[in-house]
Structure 1
Amino acid sequence: MNRLSSIGRGALLATLLAASSPAFSQAIVQQPTPNADRLSAQMRILATNPSDLAALIEAGRLSTRLGDPEAAVQFFARAEKVSPADPRVLAGRGSALLAMERPGEALRLFTAAERAGLAASYFAADRGLALDLLGYPTNAQRDYRLALANERDDEVVRRLALSLGITGDARAANQLLDPLLRLNDRAAWRVHACVLAMQGDVAGADKIAAAMLPGFGAQLAPFFRRLPSLAPADRAFAVHFGRLGTTPARIADARLAPAVTPLPRAEAPVAVAAAETAAPAKPARTRRPSARERRAAAAAARRETQARQREAEVAAARKAEADRVAQAAEAARAAEAARAAEAKRVADAARAAEAARTAQAAAAAEQARRAEAERLAEAQRAEQAARTAEAQRLAEAARLADAQRAAAAAAAEEARGAAADAPAQVASAPTPPVAAHSDAAAAAADTTLATIIRNLTIPATELGVAPLPTAAPAPGIAAAATTPAPVAPAPVAPKPEPAKPVPAKAEPKPEPTKAAAKEAKSAKGKAADDDAKTTAKAKAKAAKPDPAKQNPAREWVQVAGGANKADLPKEYRALAAKAPALKGRSAWTTPLRFTNRLLVGPFKTDDEAQAFVNTLKKQGVTGFTWTSEAGQKIEQLPK
């Protein structure tokens, strides 16, 4: 907008020319106004009842008078929701738009309010200003007079004086301003300066500006010199809003105004002197105009013609500019619609691509989780099978060792029994056959021990394997398989015939040798030691606690694993921070080949463990159920 900055006097000129606006005048003079108090009262009413129609309308009108049209528009919008058909709302919105320099829209709303039945005197003062700004000063003067007939308002008087100055009637304007000038109304003095400038009296306008604003009057001279050459509408915008020249926004707004029929200019009343009643009336004589008068009339006609031509040119320019602005606005709207459509298309494509990526990532993650769970389950099954095979192997080896020890003990017992019988036979035989008898006893003992070991059979049930499917043996064969073969008696050397007694001297009875006695004593001691060791082992085995009772088979949920046992508590805390279901539960661990399991539990049943796995999955943590064997040690981790 072409404010006064176009002539280098923007701020000062706005101060002078906007004096007719009550909000601007109050901002300059800083005088208290009752409108603010009345607005405060209406706001208190609205605080109690936000839907009070009268308070909303009055608050909007007062906001407009106080120079806050934006707030006024908000109040009228709320009032329209309460009563959409109230014409006062239309008139109030028109006044607010007028304060926002949109007279075309304001005049349209005033016309709609009048058609809805609202009296024109309600908005006559503001409609008069709208007509002035649109270039219809005579129509505006009629509305100003209508408003003054209803209620005298100094602001309306100043507006009427400016309108008379626009049409060139400076005398009538000064007559209206005279009472206010006598009261030293500064706003009236500013209006008076503008009226003088519009009539070409720039010097008089400068004197008033110098008196009202000492030190700044000379800076307003360029503006005063521009006023006489402006069209009526441009003059109105200049003296009311301080704006020089037309703008696309003004032209577009003017196209929104309804059609207005210009009123003829009212002629000033002519004062006729009173004639004496006694003097007879003389017939009027027709006087021929002088050459000077004819030249003046011709000049006035030329000026009128030129003024009309200028108005026509301005109207044509306004129309062309309005068409151009409308076309530009339409093109801008089309471009904006195209941009919005393209942006929507791009956004939809981006959302679809993002959804596809998200679905693909979720599918990949789910597949990875399933593969990991299957791998862990397979590892668990392999580990379980390996443990079972190892347990069976160890059990078989232990049973074989026990059986061998039992067979050895039986063979030793048999040998001791055979050795115990040997001395008696030696005592009754001569010395040479004794050695042969001892060798035969040892050979018999070896043969007996070999026979026992060879015929030893361990049942398949004790070895932990299923018996082979074979045909049932004959009773005799089965008995031979399960019953040890009879031990053949050791061959006894033939007793030598006793010598005939000698009458003279009887031969003494031979005694057992020291070596044989020592061997028999050693065999008995060894047997006693073996019995003592066997008894001690049996007692120790009975006193040793059963691992299966201390660690029975239980149900667990494995959530992770790791080679370093010390890092498992930290890993569990990280999982608990992600899954609330882990909080408050204890963490356990057990070795798994070269790594360690991270367990949660124990659980009463496999179904309860699986339900906990499902809960963890919903919270973003994967796991699977696992059953510990009886006797397998499970260690609790520190928190």
Structure 2
Amino acid sequence: MAALIDAGDAAIGLGDVAAAIGFFGRAQEIAPTNPRISLGMARAYTLSRRPVEALRLFAEAERGGIPLTVMAAERGLAFDLVGDAASAQELYRLVLSSGPNEDIRRKLALSQAISGDRVGFEATLLPLLEKGDFAAFRTRAFGLAILGDTDAAVGIARDMMPGAASAQIEPYLRYMTQLTPAQQAAAGALGIFPRSSNVGRDDPDIAAYTGSAGTTATTAGSNLAPAGAPLGSRAKARTAREPTSDRRTRRDQRRGAERSGRRQAPPSPAAAPPLAPPPPAQETPAAELPALASSGELPAVTPDPSSVETQPSPAQDEAAARAAAPLPQPLPARALPPVSLPPEPRESVLEAFAGLDLADGASTAPRAGAVDIRSIEVPRETNEPPKPAIPSRNWVQIATGRDIAALAFDWRRITRSAGGELAGKKAFTAPWGEANRLLAGPYESAREARAVVAKLTAMGVDSFAFTSARGEEVTALAGTDAAPNGPPPAPANPARNWVQVATGRDRDALGFDWRRISRKADGALKGKGPFVASWGATTRLLSGPYDSEAAAQDVVTQLKKLGIDSFTFSSKDGEPVEKLD
């Protein structure tokens, strides 16, 4: 069961929600009341746009002892997906109170925009914008569109994205004000837009959501108050208003319908949630949003079983009928007829056909009009040697990614920072879910691979040992060379600290911007530029380099006093930063 739960969590981490639901469903068959399974299923249902069911499962997990802090991030998103921004923001702030989390900060900002809090939205997002977080600019575009500042949102999309992509996303931004809060959350957080016929109209289950006690976050002591009707009241009331003969007739009707396959038993409150993944919809994933022009639709959510009145199922009625029926009496003993055993089997096929030899003088020639099968050449299998199976081998995994070309870049970057520990080893890739492993090796043994991992970890290089299974395909990474011996030479573009003063696509225009800004800077930028670096579809205009990030921050503070917007930027090892002519 623990392995199935871990597999479900890993599937969610890889974005395979359907597989996660399958793993948690199998674990639920073993332990139906385990709160970790309820938590995992709730996380999967949130990502598959079934927030009402997810909130019910989050509540079950909390009642089972899962701390609220463990589920606060995903539970907050589920609240946003039903339009309850206040509860969502409370949980997002709970997550941020334990430490910085850029993803949750972006979700909190989006939720504040949905609830109309522009001041809070801008303040929450500002630290990420100052760091140059590309995803924060995307969130700002969605937030501004939700708040009605559509032109500013479209302007951000045009500045940060290529022309074709920004043109495709522009219609979505212009429709954001027409969506419901739940639809705005799905669009901004998951990249899922409703069909045009459903714009401004929530799914029935979401529209009917009222934040019942079964789905909202609970506070300390809230579970101590008694709730619901007294024990036995529902059963007594149903018995009082329904004669026994009527109940028996209704039970027989249900049995007949069940046998004919026209009806299924209603779920009981303790029944497990559906294990099948949600039906596929025309979705717009957040990472591929500009590539799609059609809109998606949230799948229907099954009703909360806790809101359905408990009725005895046909299986329960049938069990009760069997319990009331008299036990069958054993049959009287009688003598069994003698059993004749078959003859002993022959030991071999040759012995079985021993009596079919041709008599002496018999002819093998075909009869008149028959086909002479002796003249037919039957194709025979050749005794070619089998292809050698791919053996199991030992590797060191140093990165993962979907883009093979990007993995080649990662290989060159990591081997430079590995201090010669990967010397002589070549780069390989192996599929891993929807991504690919980047591997160094092979190594003679798993122990040797683990020793290399320990050395790389001490140098700050993330890695772990990996053993490929027998027959598992591991492919050499094209366009890469073996890792060099010894420490690599200093990179042409080492990591450095800069101050970013503007962005733009036209470098000639950036040269004009530099002259304008440097005049206004009153000597603060003298001798420090201009430099440029690529940033998505646009270009950074930089001054520097500076000895430290603190020195760069001092310049930012000085420029701010002069009315010049800027922020610090740290380039990575190997990241090109060029002098602007």
TM-score by length of 2: 0.35
Identify the structure with bigger relative contact order (alpha carbons < 8 Å, sequence gap 6+). Answer: 2
More strand by share: 2
TM-score when normalising by structure 1: 0.32
Q: Which has the higher helix share?
A: 1
Flag the structure with larger Rg: 1
